[in-house]
Every structure is written in C-alpha cells, then in structure tokens.
C-alpha cells in the first residue's frame, strides 16, 4: 500500500513575511519511508532542490497558475538521509586566524533573492582567503548550501537587533 504525499503549503508563511525552511525540514523529518512531500509555493524554490537532493529527494516541479508552483519531492530509493538533518559542517575553521573583512555589505533592506545574489557576487570578487561580512534580514539557510557547494567557509550569528551577520571566507 502506497502512502499519500505529505502536503505542505508555504504560501501563507511567506505571505506573512515568515521563513518556511524550518517547516519544510520538519515535514521532511516527519515523512514515512518512501513517502513524498508535496510542496506548494508562490515561486519555484530552486535552492531547495539542492538542499533536499542532499537528503535523498528528487524534485518534480510544475507551475499551477497565478505564479504558484507545486513541487513533489520524491525519495530516491536508498538515499534518504537517516542522520541529523540539522547537522552542519564545522564552518568555524580557526576563525581567529581569518583576516578582517575587506568588504562589508548591508543586505537587510533587499527583497529575496537579492541578499543572497549580492552576497555571492561579493564573495566571488574576493581573492582566495579574503573575507566578506554581510548583514542579512534573517539566517541565510540557502546561502549556506551555496557557499558549501562553492568551497567557501562561513561563520554567523543572529544579532540582538534582529538581523543575521555572516562572515564568509573565500575558498
């Protein structure tokens, strides 16, 4: 007997200015073996494709009208991540030895995906080993995945003012 897809509609979360990544990861963790996630979003969530492929899911996306998208994340047989989905690689790698940032970006007032795009462009303009600091409106989960894929290191934290500060060292 095949289980029905687990459905998650992140459109209301995004409409209220929220970040749906936590809800998506909770849904992935709640899936039964061989169960798929049916995600509804107001845009095609391409960065999520990479994140979930790392956890053993393959996306199938289609536009369903009014700019909304349906993405089915199907488990790839034998590839589901059975470890801690929240475990991240150690990105601190001797932060005391990192040079001071040569670039400081304030990306707090930008609409997605501009904070990520602007930060990645800044990192790519650095020489290997140089660092960049960026202020972002929230924790940049998708940015972390992209930095890892490109071989860069980072460290970051939420600031008391409510934004997130990340320092990135070009690999």
| pLDDT tens digit sequence for 50-81 | 778 878 889 999 999 999 999 999 988 655 44
Domain with CATH 3.30.110.40 in the chain: 6-75, 95-169
Return the pLDDT at 38: 95
Contact 168, 91 (CB under 8 A): no
Higher confidence at residue 150 or residue 10? 10
Contact 63, 45 (CB under 8 A): no
31's tokens: 């899936």
Read off the pLDDT of residues 86-139 as tens digits, 9 standing for 90 and up. Answer: 334 444 455 567 889 999 999 999 888 889 999 999 999 999 889 999 999 888
Read off the pLDDT of residues 15-42 as tens digits, 9 standing for 90 and up. Answer: 998 888 888 888 888 888 889 999 999 9
Q: Which fold has domain 6-75?
A: Translation Initiation Factor IF3 (3.30.110)
Return the pLDDT at 78: 56
Return the pLDDT at 84: 38
Return the pLDDT at 91: 46
Q: Which fold has domain 95-169?
A: Translation Initiation Factor IF3 (3.30.110)
Return the pLDDT at 136: 92
Contact 35, 6 (CB under 8 A): yes
Contact 107, 137 (CB under 8 A): yes
Rounded to a whole number of angstroms, the distance between the first and last alpha carbons of the chain is 48
Return the pLDDT at 88: 42
């Amino acid at each position: 007997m095949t289980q029905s897809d687990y459905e998650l509609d992140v459109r209301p979360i995004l409409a209220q200015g929220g970040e749906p990544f936590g809800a998506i990861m909770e849904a992935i963790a709640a899936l039964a073996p061989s169960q798929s996630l049916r995600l509804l979003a107001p845009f095609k969530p391409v960065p999520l494709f990479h994140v979930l492929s790392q956890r053993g899911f393959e996306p199938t996306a289609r536009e369903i009208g009014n700019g909304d998208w349906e993405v089915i994340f199907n488990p790839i047989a034998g590839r589901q991540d059975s470890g801690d989905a929240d475990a991240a690689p150690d990105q601190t790698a001797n932060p005391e030895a990192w040079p001071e940032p040569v670039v400081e970006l304030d990306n707090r007032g930008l609409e997605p995906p501009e904070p990520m795009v602007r930060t990645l462009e800044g990192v790519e303009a650095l020489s290997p080993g140089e660092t960049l600091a960026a202020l972002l409106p929230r924790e940049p989960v998708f940015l972390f995945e992209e930095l890892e894929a490109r071989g860069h290191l980072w460290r970051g934290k939420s600031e008391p003012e409510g934004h997130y500060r990340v320092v990135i060292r070009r690999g």
